[in-house]
Amino acid sequence: MAAPQTFSLLALTLSLLALASTVHSHNITQILADNPEYSSFNSYLSQTKLADEINSRSTITLLVLNNGAMASLAGKHPLSVIKNALSLLVLLDYYDPQKLHKISDGTVLTTTLYQTTGNAPGNLGFVNITDLKGGKVGFGSAASGSKLDSSYTKSVNQIPYNISVLEIDAPIISPGLLTAPAPSAAVSNLTGLLEKAGCKTFAGLLVSSGVLKTYESTIEKGLTVFAPNDEAFKDDDVPDLMKLTQAEVVSLLEYHALAEYKPKGSLKTNKNKISTLATNGAGKYDLTTSTSGDEVVLHTGIAPSRLADTVLDATPVVIFTVDKVLLPPELFGNATSPAPAPAPVTAPTPSPAEGPSPTAASPPAPPTDESPESSPSDSPVGSANSKSANAAVAVSSPSLFTALVTLVAIAVSVSL
Ligand SMILES: *[C@@H]1O[C@H](CO)[C@@H](O)[C@H](O)[C@H]1NC(C)=O
Ligand SMILES: *[C@@H]1O[C@H](CO)[C@@H](O)[C@H](O)[C@H]1NC(C)=O
Ligand SMILES: *[C@@H]1O[C@H](CO)[C@@H](O)[C@H](O)[C@H]1NC(C)=O
Ligand SMILES: *[C@@H]1O[C@H](CO)[C@@H](O)[C@H](O)[C@H]1NC(C)=O
Ligand SMILES: *[C@@H]1O[C@H](CO)[C@@H](O)[C@H](O)[C@H]1NC(C)=O
């Protein structure tokens, strides 16, 4: 009888179908919300925006602390320190309980989200996982001489190969983690930070216009800065700032900051229009974002600007450099239209295989902006493009479906 093969093929097919229909990624806030014993941990994931970062990644393991174990951190340190401590619990690899107990040689160093932030000195963003005697698994900092102070207690949830949530009994503390200086010290010299990051022109404008004070006034509540580097101000596409009124310069500079904490992970998962400090009414002076891999692009409606470096990420303040001055349509909408469209260097070129055939849909050259992945605010060009993007998705799903149906058909015919 061929029945067993048929069933396993069918099972494979069904699970592939299930995978295909789960288009959206995980929501860690939702996963932990089902477990009130992690409410404190979950709340800090949201406050520090680590939840967004976790949701934007796959193949990760989150080590969670229950409310009791979280008590040693909660409320005892600045948010920026707690964020670092929790980042060390986001392993950039997938460990389910089985894999945890099958570590080759019984010990391994694994990289964490903390290592990717640039805040971790040396190898302090790595975690040592060691299979101890008696089925116990210990976790500790990778720093030499560190003890394995935390232990695996139980599995909380797994979405295979995307995210595994495991409970451990104590935070992993790397040397210096809890004694990092409070961000207020780092942030107190905003212009100094910007100058060091290669944004002297921008820093100078903030001071001369007085907008620096507006930035500083929102630091407590949250501040995100998109600082164009000095090269960006030399760009041919940048209109002559000398021709702007004082009020327009203020709006332009306020357009480069948000009165909220939006680190990279949050920008990556963002789907909405983002209000800036210049926003003075619905739909005014806002930004949209698009993501390609690890890259984030800001869209003003006139020209895209790529997020370059993170100068500082100290909850609730984050400072990025961007490679283009952000030009709000409210100031430059019609003035820059005749300017040549920026070369599509930053635009991801679709591979010939998945791109539409040139005859089928050759979109008209955009009059102003932008990359093929234009955001909704860049309409009408943007909306047309996003429609064709949706169409591409719609086409690929049925073809997957057809392939699966064919598989089932083969399975059935084999069994006959
Ligand atoms: C895993 O994550 C990827 C990317 O986020 C997503 O496309 C896929 O549907 C997810 N799989 C499951 C089973 O959730
Ligand atoms: C994740 O789940 C939480 C709690 O249910 C919800 O408030 C939040 O909007 C969800 N986030 C996303 C990105 O869907
Ligand atoms: C992990 O820590 C243990 C105990 O300190 C140590 O014996 C082991 O060599 C470490 N593992 C790695 C891969 O460094
Ligand atoms: C701010 O930083 C800059 C550059 O590091 C430095 O030159 C300046 O003296 C600092 N200002 C204050 C008030 O600390
Ligand atoms: C651009 O020009 C159009 C018509 O010429 C006008 O309706 C619109 O308000 C202008 N936009 C800006 C931002 O000045």
Residue 358 and residue 350 in contact, taking contact as beta carbons nearer than 8 Å: no
Gyration radius of the chain over CA positions = 25
- Our answer on whether the CB atom of 27 is closer than 6 Å to any ligand 2 atom is yes
Cα distance between residue 207 and residue 184, in whole Å:
19
* 29 domain residue, yes or no: yes
Same domain, 383 and 318: no
CB 271 within 8 A of CB 291: no
Query: Cβ(191)–Cβ(207) under 8 Å?
Result: yes
Closest CA to 183 of 213, 156, 220, 150: 220
Pairing of strands 163-168, 304-314: unpaired
Domain containing residue 321: 183-332
- What would the DSSP string read from start to end of 209-229? HSHHHHHHHTTTT-EEEEEE-
Q: Which ligand is nearest to the CA of 207?
A: 4
CB of 189 closer than 6 A to ligand 4?
A: yes
Q: Is 93 in the pocket of ligand 4 (CB under 6 A)?
A: no
Q: Which residues of the chain have pLDDT under 70?
A: 1-24, 334-416
Question: What pLDDT shows up at residue 22?
Answer: 37
Claim to verify: residue 225 and residue 105 sit in the same structural domain? no
Q: Is 148 in the pocket of ligand 3 (CB under 6 A)?
A: yes
Output the domain CATH number for residue 360.
2.30.180.10
The pLDDT value recorded for residue 226 is 98
- Separation of CA 192 and ligand 4 centre (Å): 5
The predicted pLDDT at position 308 comes to 96
Cα distance between residue 230 and residue 200, in whole Å: 6
Instruction: Indicate if ligand 5 lies below 6 Å from the C-beta of 330.
Output: yes
Pair 201, 55 in one domain:
no
Residues 31 and 175 grouped into a single domain: yes
Do residues 292 and 277 lie in contact, with contact meaning Cβ atoms separated by under 8 Å? no
Q: Where on the phi/psi map is residue 161: left (φ > 0), alpha (ψ -120 to 50), or beta?
A: left
201 and 175 in a single domain? The answer is no
- Report the alpha-carbon distance of residue 85 to residue 44 in Å, rounded: 11
pLDDT the model gives residue 407 = 44
**In angstroms, rounded to a whole number, what is the distance separating the alpha carbons of residues 276 and 225?**
10
Q: Does one domain contain both 88 and 144?
A: yes
Q: What is the DSSP string of 43-64?
A: HHHHHTTHHHHHHT--SEEEEE
**Same-domain check for residues 219 and 284:** yes
Give the pLDDT confidence score for residue 24 in this predicted structure.
Answer: 56
Residues 120 and 213 in one domain: no
Cα–Cα nearest to 136, from 156, 155, 152, 148 = 152
Q: Which atom of ligand 5 is nearest to the CA of 330?
A: 13
Report yes or no: 315 and 79 within 8 Å, Cβ to Cβ: yes
277 and 198, same structural domain? yes
Tell me how far apart the alpha carbons of residues 217 and 367 are, in angstroms, rounded to a whole number.
Answer: 38
Q: Measured from the CA of 189, which atom of ligand 4 is nearest?
A: 1
Compute the distance from residue 326 Cα to the ligand 2 centre, in Å. Answer: 30
Ligand 1 atom with minimal separation from the 162 CA: 1
Ligand 5 atom index nearest CA of 329: 13
Do 195 and 261 belong to one domain?
yes
Tokens for 124, please give them: 């302090």
- For the record, the structure tokens of 72 come out as 């040693």
- Choosing from 29, 34, 35 the residue with most ligand 2 atoms within 8 A of its CB, the one to mutate for a pocket test is 29
- Domain count of the chain? 2
Place of tokens 């702007």: 244
Residues 225 and 269 in one domain: yes
> What does the pLDDT read at residue 334?
58
- Ligand 1 centroid to residue 53 C-alpha, Å: 15
In a domain, 343, yes or no: no
Three-state DSSP at 362 gives coil
The number of beta carbons lying within 10 Å of the beta carbon of residue 207 is: 14
Phi, psi (5° rounding) for residue 81?
-70, -45
Q: Are residues 229 and 105 in the same domain?
A: no
Residue 394's alpha-carbon distances to 167, 376, 400, in angstroms, are: 39, 19, 10
Nearest of 200, 197, 196 to residue 230 by alpha carbon: 200
Nearest-atom number in ligand 1 for the CA of 26 is: 14
